[in-house]
Amino acid sequence: MAEILVLVDHADGAVRKPALELLTIARRIGEPSAVVLGAGEAAASIAATAGEYGAATVYVADGAEFAEQLVVPKVDALTQIAKEKGAAAVLVTSSGEGKEIAARVALRLGSGLITDAVELEAGENGPVATQSVFAASYQVRSTVSKGVPVVTVKPNSAAPEAAPAAGTVENASVAFTGNAAKVVSRTPRVSTGRPELTESAIVVSGGRGVGAAEGFGVVEKLADSLGAAVGASRAAVDAGWYPHANQVGQTG
């Protein structure tokens, strides 16, 4: 069965929901293998969770580079593992960082890239991705015609489904290429107590219609009553109306 690499997104020692969705989707097109990078002491528990959701193998790589540099160390690791294992496809969460990683990996592999997929299915010539375009007015089905398909998948495209697999841990050695932007300081994100935008089943979003920054109060109250995340349109973010825009992200 074709091996599908899934880059596992994790935070604070736990696997994030979009990664479990990717493992679920990967089973539709082959045999999932998880890639866990820079997890430190949490790698074992993250690998165990990946195994619970279908990862037959979990490739683990660690090093100071993953914390000290942006994007490139993950690109180095994912590219090298994909080449060494002869992966049939590479799946990444469709976030800002995820898209940059995917694009760089596709370039290094000499492969095609599909972003913001909402569905994947097996096809005669490789995975077939479905994308929603023009505000979900149309659906486009695409395949990669050259190289190892690299696909980013939108969060909340599938419900995570457990399917226990071996989850055999294999330590991967990575030759880091350097030439990456370095992290010089970090500022802890202040928690709003609300669900993450990418993991919430309900999002209450505000835009030009709220009139000003003060108008987001009613958006927040409604979100809190529903146990929802808060989103902001690009116009509201660009106007500086929502002070927590960097925490919730843009919804359009």
- β-pairing verdict for 128-133 and 113-121: antiparallel
- Which tokens hold the place of 77? 């690791």
Structure-derived torsion over alpha carbons of residues 237, 18, 6, 8, reported in degrees to the nearest 10: 80
d(CA 217, CA 186): 29
Identify the architecture of domain 3-171 in CATH. 3-Layer(aba) Sandwich (3.40)
d(CA 41, CA 161): 26
pLDDT of residue 250: 47
d(CA 204, CA 206): 7
What residue spans define the domains of the chain? 3-171, 187-252
pLDDT of residue 248: 44
- β-pairing verdict for 150-153 and 89-93: parallel
pLDDT of residue 22: 97
pLDDT of residue 186: 81
Structure-derived torsion over alpha carbons of residues 205, 232, 7, 5, reported in degrees to the nearest 10: 60
pLDDT in tens, the chain (252 residues): 799 999 999 998 999 999 999 999 999 999 999 999 999 999 999 999 999 999 999 999 999 999 999 999 999 999 999 999 999 999 999 999 999 999 999 999 999 999 999 999 999 889 999 999 887 889 999 999 999 999 999 999 999 999 999 999 999 999 999 888 888 888 877 777 888 877 788 889 898 888 888 888 899 999 999 999 888 888 888 888 875 544 444 444
Q: Report the amino acid identity of residue 29.
A: I
3-state secondary structure of 148: coil
Q: Report the amino acid identity of residue 32.
A: P
pLDDT of residue 243: 57
Give this prediction's pTM: 0.86
Cβ atoms of residues 163 and 54 within 8 Å: yes
The CA–CA distances, whole Å, from 179 to 56, 72, 80 equal: 33, 8, 17
What string of DSSP letters covers 1-28? --EEEEEPPEETTEE-HHHHHHHHHHTT
d(CA 231, CA 205): 4
Residue 40 DSSP code: G
Cβ atoms of residues 171 and 61 within 8 Å: yes
CATH of the domain spanning 187-252: 3.40.50.1220
Question: Mutual orientation of helices 72-85 and 96-109 as an angle, nearest 10°?
Answer: 50
